[in-house]
Structure 1
Amino acid sequence: MKTTLLSKPLTSIYVEQIAPQFGMPDLTLPFWGSRKKMPMHRIVRLEGEGNYTLFHFADGSQLMVSLTLKKMESRLSPKVFVRPHKKNIINLLYLEAFHPDHQQLSVSLVNGDLIEVSRRKASRFIKQVKGFQQELLILDARPTTPALVGV
């Protein structure tokens, strides 16, 4: 059974517009002996693989960095990024639906990924999603600033 969270998934234009409201600066990541700046709001999810983290971006690209998921979690905006399972951190801007199934809850993201929510983290995760939805409602209620019109 699929339960939709939002009336419709957020568009990429809308995500670009509201990202500054959630305190989402660029991340500087170690990459092949150098550093690379990546826009935080374009990260769909992060997947832990031992001492490495695999970034999944909105454009479908991926990037592996030599930092643990725990270390990355401390660098992300807590209003938008949540950890539903020990192996994943997801960006709520790209959350599409809940999938409750007997004892196991999972969520789908707009890129088609299906992520399990651990039983121990389920209630906290749901509270975080509801808080995020409230933030979106507040943002939607604000009048549109001229700088955002037509973008």
Structure 2
Amino acid sequence: MKKKLVAKPLSYFLVEQLADQFAMPDLTLPFWGCRKKMPMHQIVRLEGEGNYTLFHFVDGSQLMVSLTLKKMESRLSPKFFARPHKKNIINLLYLEAIHPEHQQLSVSLVNGHRVEVSRRKASRFIKQVKGFQQELQLFDVAPTAAMAG
């Protein structure tokens, strides 16, 4: 597991391009008695807190909604979003690195967050990351060309 799976994080410009190419939809969220559309590609991570989900966006903002993480998971694109742990869902577009340390995997995201990967979900998560990176290469998005910018 010493091999580094993530070459370089994607730049914001590249994320925008990929969102267009893959036709990533907006996500409609309940917000203070109304509904608000949020671009799915701007979500870095979702964090479950009981019956609530805290969204972390690429601009640093956060939004708490009164829906469970399980309910939110069903609304997200499985091509882009992975659930490495029961309390977190991450957007693979913002994956910075995978850290295998002392039989415990964790990932770091471009916003500086670090999320543990549960042992039970580790092999499935790694397969999902590899599949995602292969898909990116089909779209001429070689990880080396996807330098942060």
Q: TM-score, normalised by structure 2?
A: 0.90
Matched with 2:92 is: 92
**Structure 2: unaligned runs, 5 residues or longer:** 143-149
Matched with 1:43 is: 43
**Whole-Å separation in 2 of the counterparts to 1:141 and 1:74:** 27
**Structure 1: unaligned runs, 5 residues or longer:** 143-151
Counterpart residue type for residue 93 of structure 1: L
SS in 1 for 2:59: coil
Report which stretch shifted further, 18-27 or 42-51.
18-27
1:47-86 alignment, distance < 5 Å: 47-86=47-86
The structure showing larger relative contact order (alpha-carbon pairs under 8 Å, at least 6 residues apart) is: 2
What is the aligned residue count?
A: 141
| RMSD, matched Cα | 1.6
Say if 2:16 and 2:41, in contact at 8 Å, map to a contact too: yes
SS in 1 for 2:108: strand
Say if 1:44 and 1:91, in contact at 8 Å, map to a contact too: yes
State percent identity of aligned pairs: 82
Counterpart residue type for residue 132 of structure 1: F
Q: Which runs of 4+ in 1 moved over 4 A?
A: none
- CA-CA distance at 1:141 after TM superposition: 6.3
Say if 1:22 and 1:80, in contact at 8 Å, map to a contact too: no
